[in-house]
Amino acid sequence: MAVMFRGNSLKDISWNEFQALRPAEKAPMLTSGGHPYHILFSQQFDREFLNRIITLATMTRRIAKTRGGLLYLQGLLAEKRAMLYFVQPSTRTFLSFFSACEMVGLKPGEVRGTSTSSELKGESPEDTVRTFSSYFDLIVMRHPEAGFAERIAWLLSTTERPIPVVNAGSGKDQHPTQALLDIYTLQRSFEEVGGIEGKTVVFVGDLARGRTVRSLSRLLALYPGVRLVFAAPPSLQIGDDILAELREAGVPVQLTDDFHATIPEADAIYMTRLQDEWDIAGESQKIDLRRFSFGVEHLPLLKPNAALLHPLPRRGEIAVEVDHDPRAVYWRQVRNGMWIRAALMLMIFHRDAEIDRYYEDLTS
């Protein structure tokens, strides 16, 4: 039985009531006028949304190819400002959001750590973030704590100036916009071979603490016929919570510690690094990860249409010599991230229909 709440909005529910809901019950409260508003976890997305954002990212990418198109895009959100609050290390995701903001005209501000903010004076992170809502129209945040972005989204909804919150990585838990760009990359890789449906995807590496895998595996469950293989040392295997969700969704799942044996059956391989920043006493340094890496010697085993992905940064799990192979798509993933994030911001601010119209004129 669902918890009773007064309305279909975050401001009508207490934090405790909200927290107790299942992701599917929370999802409608994260939208506004049929559009996504807060972007917090990947279970809030359905296939219709994924199809829409993929189409939108592609139209945006094509429009940006000409000077006129780029200038048009840069006018779309020119009256808006975005705060990029990244209090955990980031290169790609920060730059990706920064570039996506510029692409659609959003003016970005940034806080890249707590060392120069009033948090050093003892201010609570909640108050710091609430201050941003006076100056900005959107907060994109990367934070070491799972659930922090959710709490801020709820908190801001109770203020006079609620603004949307986008989770750009929350602890070991979720990275929903990375999952969107991964889906976009897979869709583009498999465009000519029937799309993502029916494909076998192998996840490799630190699956216990890698948030990208947790977010992406849930989205892959939305594609009929997808089979997921999790290849990791036993101590770094995927969480039981994810396995339970996948089983409930009817997704065939296999766990193994023999990654190399899975290469010939893979349509996509998603490599990840060791997440030893979460170690308490350097315990994962002792794990031999050579068995969970991809070298040039593995290329002949890979299917001709396969795609090799990595959210990056890498730490040797994929040899640099592999980069030249057309099946290595991790640098393309980086570029796709910018388009998907630009499309997402257009959707959040209800400007996506303008892209449809502009693109139709362009191609008619």
Question: Binding of ligand NCD at residue 211 (CB under 6 A)?
Answer: yes
Among residues 151, 273, 298, 341, the one that binds ligand NCD under rule CB under 6 A: 273
Among residues 42, 167, 178, 189, the one that binds ligand NCD under rule CB under 6 A: 178
CA distances from 140 to 28, 56, 111 (A): 20, 20, 10
38: left (phi over 0), alpha (psi -120 to 50) or beta: beta
Q: Closest approach of Cβ 192 to ligand NCD, in Å? A: 26
Q: Closest approach of Cβ 100 to ligand NCD, in Å? A: 14
Q: Closest approach of Cβ 140 to ligand NCD, in Å? A: 12
Question: Binding of ligand NCD at residue 176 (CB under 6 A)?
Answer: no
Residue 276 corresponds to which tokens in the numbers above? 């030893």
Question: Binding of ligand NCD at residue 175 (CB under 6 A)?
Answer: yes
Q: Which of 149, 143, 146 is nearest to 239 (CA)?
A: 146
For residues 166 and 142, is the Cβ–Cβ distance under 8 A?
Answer: no
User: CB within 8 A of 16, min separation 6: which ones?
Assistant: none
Q: List, by residue number, the catalytic residues.
A: 92-93, 121, 142, 175
SS3 342: helix
**Number of chain residues interacting with ligand NCD (CB under 6 A):** 11
| Nearest CB to ligand NCD, comparing residues 145 and 354 | 145
Among residues 162, 169, 171, 233, the one that binds ligand NCD under rule CB under 6 A: 169
For residues 30 and 153, is the Cβ–Cβ distance under 8 A?
Answer: yes
Task: Characterize 250-275 residue by residue with b for buried, 16 or more Cβ atoms within 10 angstroms of its Cβ, and e for exposed.
Answer: ebebeeeeebbebbeebbbbbbbbbb
Q: Closest approach of Cβ 84 to ligand NCD, in Å? A: 13
* Of residues 58-97, those binding ligand NCD (CB under 6 A): 92-93
Strands 35-36 and 31-32: antiparallel
Question: Binding of ligand NCD at residue 217 (CB under 6 A)?
Answer: no
Q: Closest approach of Cβ 272 to ligand NCD, in Å? A: 6
First to last CA, the chain: 51
Among residues 312, 318, 344, 348, the one that binds ligand NCD under rule CB under 6 A: 312
Sheet holding 138-143, edge to edge: 107-111, 81-86, 138-143, 165-170
Among residues 185, 212, 284, 293, the one that binds ligand NCD under rule CB under 6 A: 212
Letters for 11-50 (x = contact with ligand NCD by CB under 6 A, - = none) are: ----------------------------------------
Question: Binding of ligand NCD at residue 311 (CB under 6 A)?
Answer: yes
- What distance in Å separates the CA atoms of residue 237 and residue 104, rounded to the nearest whole number? 39
| Nearest CB to ligand NCD, comparing residues 144 and 198 | 144
Sheet holding 200-204, edge to edge: 253-256, 227-231, 200-204, 268-271, 307-309
Residues that bind ligand NCD (CB under 6 A): 92-93, 169, 175, 178, 211-212, 272-273, 311-312
